[in-house]
């Protein structure tokens, strides 16, 4: 089952968490490091990467799966 990967604030650090999981996959010092880890997992699972800001709000989404609205080129 594909799980979207979320990058979320965790105290003074950042965490990678699979959607629906209560446990965090990884905890990192920087958001950039958490994004790289989550991006690798999302690509492998062909799911979405969801990046949250320090306030917890969604800041950015990247899709690595079957995008229902692919860009036209």
73 inside domain? no
67 inside domain? no
Helix boundaries (H) for 1-73: 31-45
Q: What is the mean pLDDT of the chain?
A: 92
Mean pLDDT of 22-35: 97
Locus of tokens 């990884």: 26
pLDDT of residue 68: 60
pLDDT of residue 71: 63
pLDDT of residue 65: 78
Mean pLDDT of 57-68: 85
CB 16 within 8 A of CB 37: yes
pLDDT exceeds 70 at position 66? no
Q: What is the largest CA-CA distance in the chain?
A: 42
Q: Which domain holds residue 24?
A: 5-57
pTM as predicted:
0.86
20 inside domain? yes
Going edge to edge, which strands form the sheet with 13-18?
Answer: 26-28, 13-18, 5-10, 48-52, 58-63
Mean pLDDT of 27-46: 97
């Amino acid at each position: 089952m594909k799980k979207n990967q979320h990058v979320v604030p965790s105290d003074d650090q950042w965490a990678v968490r699979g959607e629906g999981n209560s446990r965090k996959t990884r905890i990192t010092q920087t958001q950039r490091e958490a994004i790289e880890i989550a991006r690798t997992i999302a690509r492998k699972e062909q799911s979405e990467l969801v990046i949250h800001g320090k306030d917890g709000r969604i800041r950015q989404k990247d899709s690595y799966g079957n995008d229902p609205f692919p860009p036209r080129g």
